Structure 1
Amino acid sequence: MSRTVLITGATGTVSNALMNALDGTDVVLRALVRDEARADGTRERNAEVFIGDLDDARSLPPAFAGVQDLWLLTPNGPRAPEHSMNAMWAARQAGVERVVRLSVVGAAHDAPNRSGRLHALSDQETVRSGMRWTILRPHWFMQNLLNEAGDIAATGTFATNMASARIGMIDVRDIAECAARVLLDGPDRHHGETYTLTGPRSLTFDEVAGRLSLALGRSVAYLPVSDDAKRATLLGYGVPAWIVDMLEEYARAYVSGWGDFTTDTVAGLLGRPARDLTDFARDHATAFTATG
């Protein structure tokens, strides 16, 4: 008998990739979407769309009714634990059997960044929920590089405040396929597991630039900048100050060596190696070359 999976954060990068990974399987997809205007793309995946907001607990019960599995993704922000709490309460009230939760790399009460500390609170809530659960803790997304695509296309350069940090970055598609594997394997096989997901190797941003250069057939250079310079750029783009502070905390942690590790978890779940940065660069070459 097919199981109904509720996808939260349905219009975001990871949840979008997860719906792609579940396409053609026997699960019944249901999507929680905050904005009706952004729901059409979700409906095209044959997902049943419910309009609701994790910020408003009263909006959630209709979406959770009749669901067996919850894919729980809460966006970064100071109210993330509250949003997770609202989803978990709605899930318990509706009799949801399992939660597959997207956390973050290194989530812990003593993590060197506020995102990791906030996610640790929600991870513990998940563990103690009484439902079956699996937690995914992915490393830095390769797709974050798409934020630099405009500069790379226009100038052949990109700038971050990561200095010579080495990071075991992962392709979001691998995160999504791992989540899909967990969901498709049924509620018991992965119960109680916390999976740290990384790419196949740690890379510096100079090495990232080199791989982009090979994939694009043109020179790409990495320009390390100070925290203050990156802060000014992000604030200039309208990024909220809380997010800018969070990103700066991550950068400092990575510069200290905090992100220089990999695991073989993706290969263990999927039976194939994790995608390399070269694969990502080749598959997204158009984004890094478009100038109009």
Structure 2
Amino acid sequence: MSRTVLITGATGTVSTALMDALSGADVDLRALVRDKSKADGPAGKGAEVFVGDLGDPRSLPPAFEGVRDVWLLTPNDPRAPENSMNALWAARQAGVERVVRLSVVGAAHDAPNRSGRLHALSDRELEVCGMRWTILRPHWFMQNLLNEAGDIAATGTFSLNMASARIGMIDARDIAECAARVLLDGPDRHHGATYTLTGPRSLTFGEVAGRLGLALGRPVTYLPVGDDTRRTALLGHGAPRWIADMLEEYAQAYASGWGDFTTGTVAGLLGRPPRDVVEFARDHAAAFTSGGG
């Protein structure tokens, strides 16, 4: 009998890739979207779409009714623990069997960034919720490089405030495929597990630039900038101040060596190595050529 899987954050990068990864599997997909106008994307992937907001608990019961598994992805903002709490309460009330939650790399009460500390609160709540659970803590997304696609296409350069940080970055598609593996393996096999997911190697952004150039067939250069310069650019592009602050905290942590590690978890779950940044760049070459993400 098919299990009904509810996908939250259904229009985001990882959740969209997760629906692709679950395509053809013996599951009934259900998607939660905040904006009805964005329902076509999940619906086109075969999901039954419900409109609801994790920030509004009254909107959630219809989406959770009859669900066996929840993929829990909360917006990255100060209300993330509240959003997670509302989802877990709706899940418990609906008799959900398992929650698979997307956390962040290094989530801990003493993490050097507010996102990690907030996610630690929600991770702990999940661990004692009484349902089966699995937590995924992915490293820095390769897809973040798509935010620099316009500059790379126009000038062959990109700028980040990461100094010479070395990071075990991961393709979001690998995160999604790990999530699909956990969901398809059944509710007991991964219960109580927290998986830290990384790419195959730890790279500096100078090395990333070299690999992007290799994939694109033209030089790409990384230009380190200071925190103030990056912050001004983010705010100028409309990023909320809280997001700019959070990203600065991550950059400072990475520059100190905090992200210089990899794990073998992706290979252990998928039976293959995680994607390299060269493969990522080749698959997204059009974005880096035209500037469109």
TM range (shorter): over 0.9
Structure 1 runs (4+) greater than 4 angstroms displaced: none
Could you say which residue in structure 2 is the equivalent of 1:266? 266
Could you say which residue in structure 1 is the equivalent of 2:196? 196
One-letter code aligned to 1:227: D
- Tell me whether 1:289 sits opposite 2:269 in the alignment: no
One-letter code aligned to 1:45: K
Deviation of 1:103 after TM superposition, in Å, equals 0.2
Within 5 Å, which residues of 2 pair with 1:50-199? 50-199=50-199
Distance 1:103 1:252 in 2: 20
Where do 5+ consecutive residues of structure 2 fail to align? none
Q: 2:149, 2:291 within 8 Å by CA — same for their partners in 1?
A: no
Distance 2:291 2:19 in 1: 29
Where do 5+ consecutive residues of structure 1 fail to align? none
SS in 2 for 1:28: strand
Could you say which residue in structure 2 is the equivalent of 1:215? 215
What are the Cα deviations for residues 202-249 of structure 1, in whole angstroms up to 9, with x where unaligned?
Answer: 000000000000000011000000000000000000100000000000
Deviation of 1:22 after TM superposition, in Å, equals 0.3
One-letter code aligned to 1:128: V
Deviation of 1:195 after TM superposition, in Å, equals 0.2
Could you say which residue in structure 1 is the equivalent of 2:276? 276
Could you say which residue in structure 2 is the equivalent of 1:11? 11
One-letter code aligned to 2:128: R
Distance 1:282 1:31 in 2: 30
Q: In percent, how many aligned pairs have the same letter?
A: 82
Q: Report the count of equivalent residues.
A: 292
In the superposition, the TM-score normalised over structure 2's length comes to: 0.99
Deviation of 1:131 after TM superposition, in Å, equals 0.1
Distance 1:46 1:99 in 2: 21
One-letter code aligned to 1:247: L
In the superposition, the TM-score normalised over structure 1's length comes to: 0.99
Deviation of 1:117 after TM superposition, in Å, equals 0.1
Q: Aligned-residue CA RMSD in angstroms?
A: 0.6
Deviation of 1:114 after TM superposition, in Å, equals 0.2
SS in 2 for 1:70: strand
One-letter code aligned to 1:132: R
